[in-house]
Amino acid sequence: MTRGQLILIEGLDRTGKTTQTEILCKKLQPKVELIKYPKRDTPIGKIINEYLTNLDYSLPNQSIHLLFSANRWELMDHIISLLKEGKNVILDRYVYSGVAYSAAKETPRMDWQWCLSPDKGLLRPDLTIFLTQDDLTRQSDRNGFGDERYEISSFQQKVKSQFESLFRNISDSNEVKLLNVSGKSIEEVETLVWEQVELLLKQPNQEFKYF
Ligand code: DGP
């Protein structure tokens, strides 16, 4: 049996990632599973959810970083089994978010290499689509922006820079596609995402790769 493909949609907060992953999931039915990180309903995910939604809940930056990574490891065997069964797996956020959000905090001795290290050995996506936008001040126009810990425009700008340098440093340009959603409708973004996914689905499945 040919294995499924691991497709990641990454992006800044409120760029339409969740909408696009859900649309893609419908298009790939029935052989597909969508996994959204952080997965907030596991024991580790519950602590992450508390951290994100309760600003009075304090944890050292290193600790919360390792919990986000542990949350990805919790599901790794499950994802590998799905892919081996021939199912495509769509991820909403993954390792790149893990590194970009933590490195953007600019904590001493917590550079991007440190941030990547607990994720070393996780499965590498076959395709990553990064949703970005020019004007980050527009994020605050979206409903609910500002409700959670990282939803501050100045911090999002730092996250964007971290994502960009991360893609330059650790990704293969065949696997990572940057998609600027500025001024585009949901349908236009959907079409551009689908173009990339169709190309991937036509390719022969490769050996698993790892970070
Ligand atoms: P979301 O549910 O996609 O809105 O993500 C919640 C918030 O958590 C969002 O601001 C991005 C941030 N985030 C997602 N994954 C990670 C991670 O692995 N590490 C850190 N530090 N932040 C993350």
Cα of 95 from ligand 1 centre, angstroms: 10
pLDDT > 90: percent of the chain: 84
Handedness of CA 74, 124, 102, 49 (dihedral sign): negative
Residues near ligand 1 with C-beta < 6 Å? 13, 37-38, 52, 65, 68, 93, 97-98, 101-102, 148, 150
pLDDT band at 188 (very low <50, low <70, confident <90, very high): very high
**Which of 93, 156, 159 best tests ligand 1's pocket when mutated (most atoms within 8 Å of CB)?**
93
For the CA of 92, the nearest atom of ligand 1? 3
Q: Using CA positions, which residue lies closest to atom 18 of ligand 1?
A: 98
Residue given tokens 């941030």 in the structure block: 115
What pLDDT, in 10s, does the model give residues 114-143? 999 999 999 999 999 999 998 777 666 677
What pLDDT, in 10s, does the model give residues 13-40? 889 999 999 999 999 999 999 999 999 9
- Using CA atoms, how far apart are residues 135 and 156, in angstroms rounded to an integer? 11
Query: Residue 100 above 80 pLDDT?
Result: yes
On whether the CB atoms of residues 89 and 35 are closer than 8 A, the answer is: yes
| CA 135 to mean position of chain CA atoms | 20
Mean pLDDT score, 92-110: 98
Shortest CA distance to 158 belongs to which of 95, 119, 110, 106? 106
Cα three-residue angle 137-141-145, rounded to 5 degrees: 90
Cα three-residue angle 184-189-194, rounded to 5 degrees: 160
pLDDT > 70: percent of the chain: 98
What pLDDT, in 10s, does the model give residues 31-74? 999 999 999 999 999 999 999 999 999 999 999 999 999 999 99
Cα three-residue angle 23-29-32, rounded to 5 degrees: 90
Cα of 1 from ligand 1 centre, angstroms: 34
Kind of pairing between the strands at 32-36 and 88-92: parallel
For residue 115, give the 3-state DSSP assignment: helix
Cα of 12 from ligand 1 centre, angstroms: 9
- Using CA atoms, how far apart are residues 35 and 99, in angstroms rounded to an integer? 18
pLDDT band at 146 (very low <50, low <70, confident <90, very high): confident
pLDDT band at 147 (very low <50, low <70, confident <90, very high): confident
Burial group, residue 155, by CB count within 10 angstroms (0-12, 13-18, 19+): middle
Kind of pairing between the strands at 176-180 and 127-132: parallel
Cα of 101 from ligand 1 centre, angstroms: 7
Residue-level pLDDT at 140 = 66
Q: Using CA positions, which residue lies closest to atom 22 of ligand 1?
A: 101
| In the chain, beta strands by DSSP E | 6-11, 32-36, 88-92, 127-132, 176-180
Q: Using CA positions, which residue lies closest to atom 19 of ligand 1?
A: 98
Q: Using CA positions, which residue lies closest to atom 17 of ligand 1?
A: 98
Cα three-residue angle 40-162-50, rounded to 5 degrees: 20
On whether the CB atoms of residues 133 and 180 are closer than 8 A, the answer is: yes
- Using CA atoms, how far apart are residues 39 and 34, in angstroms rounded to an integer? 11
Q: Which amino acid is at 145?
A: F
Taking the whole predicted model, whether its pTM rises above 0.85 is answered as yes
For residue 32, give the 3-state DSSP assignment: strand
